[in-house]
A and B are shown apart, each in its own frame.
Chain A
């Protein structure tokens, strides 16, 4: 589904991602785990095209998207839920979701979105900026889902969210996998969350992938060591 090869990303002169390779199968969920500042957000931004790669290739279904702008990548099937959610604060909940429809040409928000996130239906007329952090996270996921993605990128979806809501988000993601043909790449620091959703867990350190385990084979104590300071 998604192939990334030898991806390098820099801010000016300083290279932050040093030649990463990644392959994600259809219907697979991959977690990229690492401490603060290890390059997770940089990697995700370059996958969606908010940062351009200085070398390497990103392909979706065999088609290279490396030189495409963000909106075009979305059209080809990549969707992005950024760290810190970045919903549009003065747009209503409904309008926020609608922004994701522009790439599909659909007029109406599919009903299954509100089935997944009932709270968004109740709040659809409110301004996005007035929702709680957990609600904003659901909104950001809903906004990404209406683009009909083949690959969904989630950058630290549990950041700043209380444990009970973290469980809800894990359930929703598993639900989405059942309902759609979708691959998910999620960056995280919370191991219990990724153990609940991921098929594979990759550890990123200083812009390199240094370890990779299938979930069944994960040694939680060892991965935790990479995540603690």
Chain B
């Protein structure tokens, strides 16, 4: 890092920090969905990345449609909602057709969802082709905001951050303040007992799985603003997402937020000074180091058992 003055370093960190916010947003949304599903049902959804891809392709399709009617400036908010609904629906079907038959068999769900992810990738390839696609960006999402001469903050990053904050707040509110959130958390903690106090745990499961997938769909819509989408886009993000969940502590949503932030920012800032893969290796080493000291992740809830 020699050759930079202190103020240059500050600007670099600030700029890369803001660039990392897009990555943070996508990772957080992905991890949120994955963590909810894992926490609730003990299912590791290997196809989670593909649900993100579903959201991204949905956004692409809507943008093509909007292009024909000259509505490119307006379609994006609609695309976010439709992406959620499509991914939610596919998730709901997946739980019904596949996952519910495999509860209490973690290895089988791992294999089954991995198979599903390959199938979905092939479907994407057949329908959309192997080439990457990008939806048309509305004008208001382009360009950047320059608070000072040295700092350049992309608008799309700010938008995606806003979206993520909104959705995360909504999910937290749902989990911690709503009546169905109580049912969900009760089922997470003790499935047998939840049934024995009158909660239909199978219905809660199906909804939870679909909700996690729907959030991944929104992550996909957000993703289109920072990169182009191909059939394997989702699988590129799934490893980072697992890292976020494990690092944050699978039981703690606040841990997930902190961990997504730490990992995305560390990668983004380090990428300025070294190659992308070197930054990844350093991040991974750091995560492994922390997990050796705190195997339960950064945060864990403390109560008497």
Which A residues are within 8 Å of any B CB, using their own CB? 48-50, 69-71, 74-75, 79-80, 82, 86, 88-91, 95, 98-104, 107, 127-130, 143-144, 147
A107–B182 CA distance with the chains assembled, in angstroms: 13
Query: Quick one: closest A residue to B189, CB to CB?
Result: A88
A75–B304 CA distance with the chains assembled, in angstroms: 30
Which B residues are within 8 Å of any A CB, using their own CB? 179, 182-183, 185-186, 189-190, 192-202, 301, 303-305
Question: Please, which residues of chain A bring their CB within 8 A of the CB of B201?
Answer: 71
A34–B301 CA distance with the chains assembled, in angstroms: 38
- Some 21 contacts from A to B, beta carbons below 8 A apart, are A50-B195, A50-B196, A69-B195, A70-B196, A71-B195, A71-B199, A79-B197, A80-B197, A82-B193, A88-B186, A88-B190, A91-B182, A99-B183, A99-B197, A99-B199, A100-B197, A102-B183, A102-B200, A103-B197, A143-B197, A147-B198
Q: Verify A50–B197 contact, CB threshold 8 A.
A: no
Q: Which of B185, B190, B199 contacts A102 (CB 8 A)?
A: B199
Q: Verify A89–B199 contact, CB threshold 8 A.
A: no
Q: Verify B304–A80 contact, CB threshold 8 A.
A: no
* With A88-B189, A89-B304, A90-B189 as contacts: A98 and B195 at CB distance below 8 Å: no
* With A71-B201, A95-B182, A100-B198 as contacts: A129 and B193 at CB distance below 8 Å: no
Q: Verify A130–B304 contact, CB threshold 8 A.
A: yes
A130–B303 CA distance with the chains assembled, in angstroms: 6
Q: Which of A48, A101, A129 contacts B196 (CB 8 A)?
A: A48
Q: Verify A70–B303 contact, CB threshold 8 A.
A: no
A86–B196 CA distance with the chains assembled, in angstroms: 11
Q: Verify B194–A99 contact, CB threshold 8 A.
A: yes
A225–B108 CA distance with the chains assembled, in angstroms: 50
